[in-house]
Amino acid sequence: MRTGPRHSVSKKLSHEAIIATFVGLIVVISVWEGQLLGLLVILTVGLLGGLLSKRIGFNTGVQFMGYYTAVLTVPALLKLIGG
């Protein structure tokens, strides 16, 4: 049984407001974790990922898997190279 009109929050929020919220969250976390260097890394990764996706057609899912595994593989490779 429904009583009254049915309203959805997602109909009242603009698409831009939702994107701005996530962008703000990413900026806050990157600055909190890595200060200015963290923000520069996030911007570089985002711009490079967007460039790969738009210009070359590199799938964003594959990019995500690469970023996810880089957390484990890059330190291991550096350890092998560094001795």
pLDDT per residue as tens, the chain (83 positions): 556 566 666 677 888 999 999 999 999 999 999 999 999 999 999 899 999 999 999 998 999 898 889 888 988 888 999 86
| pLDDT of 2 | 59
Query: Is there a domain that residue 3 lies in?
Result: no
Query: Is there a domain that residue 53 lies in?
Result: yes
Query: Is there a domain that residue 7 lies in?
Result: no
Domain count for the chain:
1
CA distance 26 to 41: 12
Query: Is there a domain that residue 4 lies in?
Result: no
Structural domain boundaries, residue 71: 15-82
Task: Kindly state the tokens that stand for 5.
Answer: 């009109």
DSSP one-letter string for 15-39: HHHHHHHHHHHHHHHHHHHHHHHHH
Query: Is there a domain that residue 10 lies in?
Result: no
Query: Is there a domain that residue 59 lies in?
Result: yes
| pLDDT of 39 | 92
| pLDDT of 14 | 86
Query: Is there a domain that residue 63 lies in?
Result: yes
CA distance 22 to 29: 11
